[in-house]
Amino acid sequence: MTQSGAKKKRMHVKRTKGKDVEKDRQSSPFSTHERVTKTKRESIDRNFTKYKKQQHVDE
């Protein structure tokens, strides 16, 4: 598999200057992003209120 241009540059800097750029990154061993999906009840309520708000005109 080929390497990206950015990775090639990082490897070159590591070889020539001895500086590992990847160590400077702010990283945590776990994900800080909280993934939340709607429950079944929330999705049903959303659809109910979504169509309830529309004005229906009887002719």
Rg (CA), the chain: 26
Task: Give DSSP secondary structure letters for 20-54.
Answer: -GGGGS---SS--PPP----HHHHHHHHHHHHHTS
14-53 per-position pLDDT tens digit:
899 988 878 877 777 777 777 788 888 888 888 777 766 6
In angstroms, rounded to a whole number, what is the distance separating the alpha carbons of residues 44 and 34? 23
pLDDT of amino acid 5: 94
pLDDT of amino acid 44: 82
Residue 56 confidence (pLDDT) above 70:
no
